[in-house]
């Protein structure tokens, strides 16, 4: 091979022992002997050698003497290269199949020495944050356990804590690092000590005496359909440059993990076939190997619009780092601190007295096993005829109001879920206090509004439908902010009974209003609340509720003005 471009962007000379399919002459040797020189846009030639990392733009120079062997066997190519030389890039842009955004403003200095690659420094911008890498990695032959132990023991600077990663980026005024003098920020998050420091730590070892690691600072990742949020931490690159393995730990925060949609089947896994004639490049897809992922502050696990949980904990992640993350296998138990599940038109909140968890296993992948207890309260309406009139039709049944205890009562509903998140509705168990059948509970939490559409107050059903979408986010925000165990905003109908002038006819008038209720559950049987009509001038109603047993309920109410009452209810169902 002897090829040079007119602009000297590409220079390639030497011998490559490869026999083309139509050739009849075998190469005289298996030895590779190539001299490669690339500059600026000519570096894009390396894109032909892999399908993982691509040069897009920038300035740089690559000078390599490539040796090793290349054998053609029945199972394919047996390539064992070596490389000697250097590579420098400045203000470069790279893209990667497994990354959601390009690497920009990349500056680096890399030395090749046979089967060893020393990254003196590589730093740049990625996904609104920055990264810094340095260390050594083999080209094709993995380090032996003894070599790994020696490299790990030579480092005198402790690694940053996974639970609180460094977020300090290199100073813009710092001098550009060189191969002989790596910057401290590339190898340690610790600040440079001042003269007032009680002790001066030993300088970090040079890059060729420590394993390759990558610092991630203030990233804002958007892995479509899987995760969107912040990432910090340190990951270690093990294996080889041609078959990298990613270890270490990262912290995800201020983000959202999206669970799989059970109605969408994941794409089939791509199985590597050594006998395939398809070219997949020299660099294999990076493999996650026991990567620790800490769920940090304000991290949500969601499957919209069904569930939304605030989570903490740690996951161990394995699997190939593909573009759609479908092959990633998380494992671990996550604590669910708070959150909601929407069933029909009712929002259930996590019972914080229960140990709510989501368990990820390698078998179930991104579909965790939920063990949660949820609770909510709904108003149950008991309709009665107007006293003294036994000839009223169904349409003349008296309207109700939130202040009328004889016609409204609060039913507390508890839902227990133990099963895959994708089968939430198949694994839910519903109970209530006072006791109701599961059919009645389902009607209370979602089916009740259907019946109202066929009656005169159908506007309430429509308002409930609109109110569900309108108030859910507001309820969640305020409930988390003020810490009440029960907070609801709901539409209701206020009915006034007017008597026409000069006669005895009763003329009811109805007004659509919005009500809010704040409640605190003191025990499972005792609770207090305050009910206020927001759109009508009515005094606040304060309520206390004590469930003695399934048949006896003690309730009290007062607006501290003209309406105070206490009621002992006995109810039996048959």
Neighbour-count burial of 430, counting CB atoms closer than 10 A to its CB (0-12 exposed, 13-18 middle, 19+ buried): buried
Handedness of CA 447, 452, 458, 463 (dihedral sign): negative
| pLDDT band of 360, cuts 50, 70, 90 | very high
Instruction: Say if residue 571's pLDDT is above 80.
Output: no
Residues 287, 97: Cα–Cα separation, whole Å? 13
3-state helix, strand, coil split of the chain in percent (to 5) is: 15, 50, 40
Residues 81, 69: Cα–Cα separation, whole Å? 6
Condensed to tens digits (0 to 9), the pLDDT of residues 434-489 reads 788 888 888 888 644 444 444 444 444 444 444 444 455 555 556 656 656 677 77
> Does residue 305 have a cis bond before it (omega within 30 degrees)?
yes
Residues 90, 425: Cα–Cα separation, whole Å? 55
By mean pLDDT, which of 338-342, 402-406, 500-504 is the weakest?
Answer: 402-406
Closest of 516, 538, 510 to residue 467, by C-alpha: 516
| pLDDT band of 171, cuts 50, 70, 90 | very low
Rg (C-alpha) for the chain, rounded Å, is: 34
Pair of tokens at residue 293: 């992922």
Residues 462, 345: Cα–Cα separation, whole Å? 12
Instruction: Say if residue 40's pLDDT is above 90.
Output: yes
Question: Mean pLDDT in the chain?
Answer: 77
Q: To the nearest whole percent, how much of the chain has pLDDT over 90? A: 33
| pLDDT band of 57, cuts 50, 70, 90 | very high
pLDDT at 551: 82
By mean pLDDT, which of 28-42, 137-151, 293-307, 379-393 is the weakest?
Answer: 379-393
Of 198 and 84, the structure prediction assigns the larger pLDDT to: 84
| pLDDT band of 255, cuts 50, 70, 90 | very high
pLDDT at 105: 97
| pLDDT band of 405, cuts 50, 70, 90 | very low
pLDDT at 385: 38
Residues 44, 397: Cα–Cα separation, whole Å? 80
Beginning with the edge strand found earlier in the chain, give each strand of the sheet holding 526-533 in spatial order: 486-499, 506-521, 526-533, 541-547, 552-558, 564-570
pLDDT at 280: 61
pLDDT at 67: 94
Q: Is 146 helix (H, G, I), strand (E, B) or coil?
A: helix
Neighbour-count burial of 123, counting CB atoms closer than 10 A to its CB (0-12 exposed, 13-18 middle, 19+ buried): buried
Is residue 414 a contact partner of residue 428, using CB atoms and an 8 Å limit?
no
Instruction: Say if residue 301's pLDDT is above 60.
Output: yes
By mean pLDDT, which of 223-232, 342-351, 557-566 is the weakest?
Answer: 342-351
Of 574 and 545, the structure prediction assigns the larger pLDDT to: 545
Average pLDDT of the segment spanning 342-359: 86
| pLDDT band of 200, cuts 50, 70, 90 | low
Condensed to tens digits (0 to 9), the pLDDT of residues 217-231 reads 999 988 877 889 999
Is residue 96 a contact partner of residue 104, using CB atoms and an 8 Å limit?
no
By mean pLDDT, which of 147-161, 166-180, 215-229, 497-511 is the weakest?
Answer: 166-180
Q: To the nearest whole percent, how much of the chain has pLDDT over 70? A: 69
| pLDDT band of 188, cuts 50, 70, 90 | very low
Handedness of CA 482, 486, 490, 495 (dihedral sign): negative
Residues 363, 496: Cα–Cα separation, whole Å? 60
Instruction: Say if residue 288's pLDDT is above 90.
Output: yes
| pLDDT band of 357, cuts 50, 70, 90 | very high
Instruction: Say if residue 42's pLDDT is above 50.
Output: yes
Average pLDDT of the segment spanning 122-129: 95
What DSSP designation does 181 have?
B
Condensed to tens digits (0 to 9), the pLDDT of residues 522-562 reads 887 888 989 888 888 888 989 998 888 878 888 888 988 88
Of 179 and 476, the structure prediction assigns the larger pLDDT to: 476
Is residue 437 a contact partner of residue 404, using CB atoms and an 8 Å limit?
no
pLDDT at 505: 58
Residues 118, 131: Cα–Cα separation, whole Å? 17
| pLDDT band of 293, cuts 50, 70, 90 | very high
Residues 490, 503: Cα–Cα separation, whole Å? 36
pLDDT at 97: 81
Residues 137, 151: Cα–Cα separation, whole Å? 11
Partners of 228 in beta bridges: 222, 256
pLDDT at 522: 85
> Which contiguous run of DSSP H or E holds residue 13?
strand 10-15
Q: Is 439 helix (H, G, I), strand (E, B) or coil?
A: helix
pLDDT at 202: 64
């Amino acid at each position: 091979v002897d090829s040079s471009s007119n602009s000297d962007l590409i220079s390639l000379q030497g011998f490559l022992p490869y026999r083309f399919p139509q050739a009849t002459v075998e190469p005289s040797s298996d030895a590779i002997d190539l001299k490669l020189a690339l500059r600026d846009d000519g570096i894009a030639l390396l894109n032909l050698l892999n399908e993982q990392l691509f040069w897009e733009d920038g300035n740089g120079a690559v000078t390599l003497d490539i040796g090793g062997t290349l054998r053609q066997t029945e199972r394919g190519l047996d390539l064992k290269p070596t490389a000697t030389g250097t590579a420098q890039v400045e203000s470069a842009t790279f893209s990667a199949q497994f990354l959601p955004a390009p690497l920009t403003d990349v500056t680096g200095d890399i030395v090749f020495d046979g089967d060893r690659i020393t990254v003196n420094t590589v730093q740049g911008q990625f996904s609104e944050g920055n990264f810094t890498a340095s260390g050594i990695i083999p080209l094709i032959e993995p380090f032996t356990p003894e070599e790994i132990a020696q490299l790990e023991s030579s480092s005198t600077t402790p690694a940053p804590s996974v639970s609180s990663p460094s977020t300090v980026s290199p100073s813009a005024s710092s001098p550009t690092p060189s191969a002989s003098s790596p910057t401290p920020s590339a190898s340690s998050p610790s600040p440079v000590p001042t003269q007032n420091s009680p002790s001066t730590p030993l300088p970090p070892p040079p890059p060729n005496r420590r394993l390759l690691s990558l610092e991630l600072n203030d990233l804002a990742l958007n892995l479509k359909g899987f995760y969107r949020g912040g990432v910090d931490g340190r990951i270690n690159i093990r294996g080889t440059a041609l078959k990298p393995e990613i270890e270490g730990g990262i912290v995800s925060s201020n983000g959202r993990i999206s669970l799989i949609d059970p109605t969408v089947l994941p794409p089939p896994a791509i199985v590597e076939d050594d006998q395939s004639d398809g070219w997949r490049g020299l660099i294999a897809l990076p493999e996650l190997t026991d990567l620790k992922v800490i769920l940090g502050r304000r991290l949500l696990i969601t499957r919209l619009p069904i569930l939304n949980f605030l989570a903490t904990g740690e996951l161990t992640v394995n699997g190939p780092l593909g573009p759609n993350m479908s092959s990633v296998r998380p494992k671990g138990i996550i604590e669910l601190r708070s959150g909601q599940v929407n069933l029909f038109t009712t929002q259930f909140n996590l019972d914080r007295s229960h140990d709510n968890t989501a368990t990820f296993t390698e078998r179930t992948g991104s579909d965790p096993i939920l063990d949660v207890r949820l609770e909510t309260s709904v108003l149950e309406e008991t309709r009665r005829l107007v006293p003294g009139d036994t000839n009223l039709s169904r349409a003349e049944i008296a309207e109700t109001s939130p202040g009328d205890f004889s016609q409204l009562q609060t039913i507390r509903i508890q839902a227990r879920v133990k099963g895959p998140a994708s089968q939430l509705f198949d694994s839910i168990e519903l109970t209530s206090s006072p006791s109701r059948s599961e059919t009645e509970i389902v009607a209370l939490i979602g089916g009740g509004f259907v019946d109202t559409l066929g009656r005169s107050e159908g506007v309430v059903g429509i308002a409930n439908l609109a109110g569900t979408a309108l108030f859910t986010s507001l309820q969640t925000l305020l409930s988390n902010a003020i810490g009440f165990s029960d907070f609801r905003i709901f539409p209701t109908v206020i009915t006034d009974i007017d008597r026409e002038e000069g006669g005895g006819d009763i003329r009811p008038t109805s007004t659509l209003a919005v009500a809010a209720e704040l409640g605190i559950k003191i025990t499972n049987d005792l609770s207090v609340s305050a009910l206020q009509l927001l759109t009508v001038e009515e005094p606040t109603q304060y309520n206390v509720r004590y469930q003695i047993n399934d048949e006896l309920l003690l309730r009290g109410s007062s607006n501290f003005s003209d309406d105070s009452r206490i009621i002992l209810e006995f109810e039996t169902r048959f």
